[in-house]
A and B are shown apart, each in its own frame.
Chain A
Amino acid sequence: MRTNTPYDQDTIAAIATAQGDGGVAIIRISGSKSLDIIEKIFLRNGSHSKAAEMQSHHMHHGQVVDHESNCIVDEVLCVLMKAPKSYTGEDMAEIHSHGGHLVPKKILDLLFKLDARPANPGEFTLRAYLNGKMDLAQAEAVTDVVNAQTEEGLKQAELQLEGVLSERIGQYKDNIVDILAEIEAQVDFPEEDIDPIIKDRLIKQTIQLITNINTLLNSYDEGRIIKYGVNTAIVGKPNVGKSSLLNELIRKERAIVSPQPGTTRDFIEESIDVRGIALKLTDTAGIRATEDEIENIGVELAKKKAQEAELIIAVIDASSELNNDDIGILERIKDTKAVLALNKSDIESKTAENDLESYIDKRNIVKTSAKHGTGIEELKDTIQKLLVQDRNRSEGSEIVLTEQRHKLALERSTDSLKSFLTAIERNESPEFLALDLRVALDSLGEITGEVTTEDILGRIFSKFCIGK
């Protein structure tokens, strides 16, 4: 329960490292009493030292002492981060103690006795946000960093946390404010010696801006994949080697041990990290025409799963001729996101790739041998290319969109920019053009912060000599 005490008087504490057998644990405190508390429990050279005398952002060696019994609890490193230069913007401290279960817990209990209270989940970040240390988009990224399932997911979350997305939004806003300043100058200073707006240039600038925003928008599909993973179904008729292929994929990759909480689908067998993408693999029953009632239930379910999947890995036994069951599966993957594994390719192939082209792009066909473990890397490459094919960005330096909230706001802003283009083409009076631009700005502002009219006026005066 949240108390009604103002945060200023309310100091929170928590163990920041994972509970377990680690060698070192970190206990974090934030709030106005942090420094007082440290003074009471931290000994340097055997005596309490004033927080004011302890340099901020420096490690201090010493001991934690129980302020009631005067017993030494542990030998620790302690760092103070004095407000406002801290993660939360408040006075903070971290105690680096020995790990394990007991010591950190004991220290934490000491803190609670001294008026700190347990931090709620995410409360350090919440405070950082409330104190203006990060904007909304950055705060959102903190959860993503903690919950990231793959390297790529983590990288993206980190980029967003660093403010790369906010920076990009800021650039878009800047571009709009530049255009707006020119438009507004026409309105408010009709008698000044200001050059008339060059319509073609503004149109060009706007189209470029829309293109840039669209590039970011287009990354959302990928961003969603990076953040949430991809539901993947492995389909094929019985005995083509689906399970061996699955095992082979899993064997070579780190299996993700904790799938997203709350997903309780019966079919999820494993989540694996393929080239930075979390594939949530669903193995399905072999799909074939059958009279057997029970088998039929499994087949129907498999078909349903394949339909729901965002990615299908279809498996065909290359060593035997295509039969109607194979054709049925190939029909199924037509026009879906799919890769086709020609398994058992170590044996003489009886399936010509050319026969498959009407069902699937040749680039998405891979020869594999689950038995010999060959073609697995190629399969992964193909999956990666297929999932992130729209991606036109240099490795690691670019940010993708992962939040639907951001996507919707960006879409609203491009809508307004398009409406601006229509209006400027029609030679509408500048105040109408300005309205579209301002709405576009507001939409972008929803992602991070606000644009005020002062910003626009500032821009006008820095660009034009205004003075009647």
Chain B
Amino acid sequence: MSINYPKSHQVIVIGAGHAGCEAALAAARMGCRTLVLTANIDTIGLMSCNPSIGGVGKGHLVKEIDALGGEMGKAADHAAIQFRRLNTRKGAAVQATRIQADRQSYRSYMKKALESETNMDIKQRMVEGFLVEGDRIAGVKTNLGEHFYADAVVVTPGTFPNGLIHIGATKISSGRAGEAAATGISESFGSIGFKVGRLKTGTPPRLDGRTIKWDMLEEQPGDKNPKPFSFTNSIIDRDQLPCHITYTNKKTHEVINNNLHKSPLYSGEIKGVGPRYCPSIEDKIVKFPDKDRHQVFLEPDGLNTYEIYPNGISTSLPLEVQYELVRTIDGLDQVEIMRPGYAVEYDYVDPTQLKPTLETKLIDNLYFAGQINGTTGYEEAGSQGLVAGINAALRVKGEDPFILDRSQAYIGIMVDDLVTKGVDEPYRMFTSRAEYRLVLREDNADMRLGELGYKIGLLKEEDYLKFEVRKKAVRQEFERLENTKVVPNSKINEILISLGASPIKKPHSLKELLRRPEITYQDLKFFELNTDLNPITDDVISQIEMDVKYEGYIKRQAEQIDKFKRLEDFIIPESFSYNDIPGLSNEIVQRLSDIRPGSLGQATRISGVTPAAISVLMVYLKRDGGHKQAQGHSISS
């Protein structure tokens, strides 16, 4: 028995977590009639794990989402109860934003954002399977027997496909504590022919803040001058909540060691691979036996709750052991657990089965985003949701696909890594994944991507104009520094000496002075005659300092990018047959045929494809006249 839903949509998004919300908002804002299907409308935009957005690498992703016209940065600014810049003593490229969020406030903001879109329908349904016509997606079916039709479908089910929660020996079929797993959708992945694997992640027990001895703990306050995520927000003026830091100790480790056999991680119950960088406390103690303590960050869950998220002690030990272990920790000796910690195993679909648009290679117009692709983290999920939503909309509208490359954005790096290399553990962003890190900064995300976001019709014109103003400000200030000369005299040289710099004999431009390591942008005011200048914002300053002070590095990075682009622009046609190439082994032909790289550059990043094979491929493509310009959206700068 099936019911065909009468209204047809252009884009259906399954799931409304961080990937789903960005996908749905992008599609709707780009003019597509969009339908969101979620198993529970109350959990739209829910932060399932820690109440925090951003971090090194992750903050970069959020800024990029924001620059393209996505929502995560704005939601984070709205819900933030603490702002913290990371790496402030390091260079601009690796400085990053992170906020602690009020969990409730974040999700109600997101829900409202979705509901505010006129092109958006939201329905609480459990999707059971796909409607496929030929090689193309036609819609989805729900557990209530309804059929929803659409031109494109974006799948963002998080940890729900075959989700299995472990607490000690207890196993619960569930995608998140208290919520049923999605089994129907997992079966359809298999029946369509997707290669599916199993991953694991975990979460710590949530604590009752009223039972924590705060006085004995080290406080970590927010920044005095908080900086927003979103380029569209300027000033943040609100009270912030602190986090607190405590540590595990020998006793904690003893409790864990004595109970290891009860952990499903070590009893062999859990088959899925967990992330190395977000290990459970059991893992940390087994893998680093020499460390006598591990940090625990006590993060507030929100303004209107006492619930505390103890970041650093994710565990799947039995509840009674969880009690025992948290109570060994300083300040937590009387603590009450409000929600148990647990590990969750779930299905993911090998992302090498996707194109760089996140469309599946098997089924046209079907897109996957978020944890289903083997990633972890809200920011990673949101970025993919955005890419999938944008590309679904572009497909529906018959426009060129939207693909960012590794030199343009962290988003481009992540998508390229996923579709080229696949994953063997939950994938998280790090700045060390970026070959061209010096030019992929938080402070220039809008310069890099704003125009693209506007061009595809996602970024609002008013926001785009703000970017343009900033871009102009940077250019003008740069020119001014170049053209303003400082003539040597005793007063000028005295100032230079007082700054620890050597005196000058010839006239210098402000830019030349700024290039000296001893002189900061702020110091330039000592050399200015005209003090009546337009105020320059911090991110403009950081861009200018970067470009002037690190010109040599930036130049080398630009050379690397040039080299990279030459291979990226070497297009391999989608229908290219590797069987016809002399000199490639069967194994390599197989790898290449599976991944179907879009360019020679992408081919170089496929594991198992040797440099020798690349040279053969290059010779063959050249002879075939394969060297054409890349298609799609690109920007000339």
Binding site for B on A (CB under 8 A): 2-8, 10, 89, 126-127, 129-132, 136, 184, 186-193, 426, 428-432, 434-435, 438-439, 449-450, 452-454, 456-457, 460-461, 465-468
- Given A130-B616, A457-B433, verify A191-B86 contact (CB < 8 Å): yes
A-B pairs, top 7 by smallest CB distance, nearest first, are A429-B91, A465-B288, A429-B90, A184-B432, A461-B276, A188-B430, A132-B610
Contacting pair A465 B94 (CB below 8 A): no
Q: Which of B291, B438, B560 contacts A465 (CB 8 A)?
A: B291
A15 shortest CB reach to chain B, Å = 23
Contact A129–B612 (Cβ < 8 Å)? yes
Determine the distance from Cα of A454 to Cα of B295 in the docked complex, in whole angstroms.
26
Q: How many residues of B contact A (CB 8 A)?
A: 52
Tell me how far the C-beta of B247 lies from the nearest C-beta in chain A, rounded to whole angstroms: 9
**Contact flag A461-B438 (CB < 8 Å), given A188-B432, A431-B94, A468-B297:** no
Q: How far is the CB of A104 from chain B (nearest CB, A)?
A: 27
* Contact indicator B553/A435 (Cβ below 8 Å): yes
Task: Report the minimum CB–CB distance from B112 to chain A (whole Å).
Answer: 30
Bound-complex Cα distance A452 to B431 (A): 14
A193 touches B295 (CB 8 A): yes
Known: A130-B612, A468-B312. A431 touches B585 (CB 8 A): no
Task: Name 25 interchain pairs, CB-CB below 8 A, sorted by A.
Answer: A3-B582, A6-B582, A130-B584, A130-B610, A130-B613, A184-B430, A189-B56, A191-B295, A192-B295, A193-B291, A429-B90, A431-B93, A431-B94, A432-B91, A434-B432, A450-B604, A450-B611, A457-B433, A465-B287, A465-B294, A466-B277, A467-B279, A468-B278, A468-B297, A468-B312
**Identity of the chain A residue whose Cβ is nearest the Cβ of B87 in the assembled complex:** A190
Specify which of B87, B557, B583 is in contact with A7 (CB 8 Å cutoff): B583
Q: Which residues of B contact A468 (CB under 8 A)?
A: 278, 295, 297, 311-312
Given the known A-B contacts A130-B612, A467-B284, A468-B295, are A432 and B553 also in contact in the complex, defined by CB atoms under 8 Å?
A: yes
Nearest residue in B to A435 (C-beta to C-beta)? B553
Contacting residues, chain A, for B604 (C-beta < 8 A): 450
Q: Does B581 contact A (CB under 8 A)?
A: yes
Among the interface residues B297, B579, B580, B612, which one has the most CB atoms of the partner chain A within 10 A? B612
B residues apposed to A, CB below 8 Å: 56-57, 86-87, 89-91, 93-94, 276-279, 284, 287-288, 291, 293-295, 297, 311-312, 421, 430-433, 435, 437-438, 517, 550, 553, 556-557, 560, 579-586, 604-605, 610-613, 616
A7 with B582: CB separation less than 8 A: yes
CA distance A89 to B297 in the complex (A): 53
Query: In the assembled complex, which residues on chain B have CB atoms less than 8 Å from the CB atom of A430?
Result: 90-91, 94
| B90 in contact with A6 (CB, 8 Å) | no
- Besides the contacts A4-B580, A130-B585, A193-B293, what 6 more A-B pairs have beta carbons closer than 8 Å? A130-B610, A187-B87, A187-B432, A193-B291, A431-B437, A465-B288
Chain B residues in 8 Å Cβ range of A10: 582
Partner of A435 from the list B56, B421, B438 (CB cut-off 8 Å) is: B438
Q: Specify which chain B residues have a CB less than 8 angstroms from the CB of A189 in the assembled complex.
A: 56
- A466-B276 CB under 8 A given contacts A7-B583, A129-B612, A435-B556: yes
Query: How many Å from the CB of A456 to the closest CB on chain B?
Result: 6
Q: B56 touching A187 by the CB < 8 A rule?
A: yes
Q: Which residues of A contact B311 (CB under 8 A)?
A: 468
Tell me if A453 and B433 are in contact (CB < 8 A). yes
Closest to A32 in B: B586
CA distance A460 to B431 in the complex (A): 13
Alpha-carbon separation in the docked complex, A187 to B91 (Å): 10
